[in-house]
Amino acid sequence: MVNNLYGKTGSNPDVTGKYPVMDEDGVVRLRFEDPERTDPEYIPTAIFTTSYARELIITASQDNYDRFIYCDTDSVHLVGTEIPDNLKEKIHPTKLGYFDLENTFNRARYLYQKTYIYETTNKNNEKVVSVKGAGMTEDVKKNLNFDNFYSGVTVPGLKKGKTVRGGTMIEDGMFTIKDRFRLI
């Protein structure tokens, strides 16, 4: 909810830069500049910001346990379109410290943290499918739908950098939604 404040006050004081150089084999590598530090901001502000946001998210999730599906650092996802009474006074699109009702969905599938797909209806009454996934490019997301959105599925669309003589080459690759809950 307060990303800018958190980011500034929680910044790493080590601001040492990097620059590219070509090594003796013709491969581009990164080298560090001379170490550089800035004065740290007030770290307790960043700690308080994340703690307060965590308390808001966890409380909203627990207060709506019967409808709770998923939460992240800045959101709570609930079953149904009716706004719960305990959240009605906490939703506003621009007020600081309030939740924003970003959208309601017709259906959704959550695999694990930051990996889910959901369907909404736009103003023209058309169904729109959105895919969220850490590490997924837009090309990968275009190849995912409700029929194939499962752990272990592999789809095209990944762009991978490969270090070669003289620089980096971009290669087409496959993206696999990893099975994060394997039994040992």
The total of other beta-carbon atoms located within 10 Å of residue 115's CB is 19
Q: What is the dihedral of CA 47, 52, 53, 58, to 10 degrees?
A: 120
Instruction: State the Cα–Cα distance between residues 72 and 20, nearest whole angstrom.
Output: 36
Q: What is the reported pLDDT for 66?
A: 96
Q: What is the reported pLDDT for 171?
A: 93
Residues 6+ apart with CB under 8 A from 128: 119, 120, 121, 122
Question: Which residue type occupies 81?
Answer: T
> Can you give the pLDDT of all 184 residues of the chain as single tens digits?
456 777 888 889 999 999 988 888 877 888 999 999 999 888 898 899 889 889 999 999 999 999 999 998 788 999 998 999 999 999 988 887 788 888 889 999 999 889 999 999 999 999 999 999 988 999 999 999 999 999 999 999 999 888 887 778 899 999 999 877 655 5
Among the listed residues 72, 66, 104, 103, the one whose alpha carbon sits nearest the alpha carbon of residue 85: 66
Instruction: State the Cα–Cα distance between residues 144 and 131, nearest whole angstrom.
Output: 7
Q: What is the reported pLDDT for 46?
A: 87
pLDDT tens readout for residues 32-68: 999 999 998 888 988 998 898 899 999 999 999 999 9
Q: What is the reported pLDDT for 26?
A: 79
pTM reported for the whole predicted model: 0.77
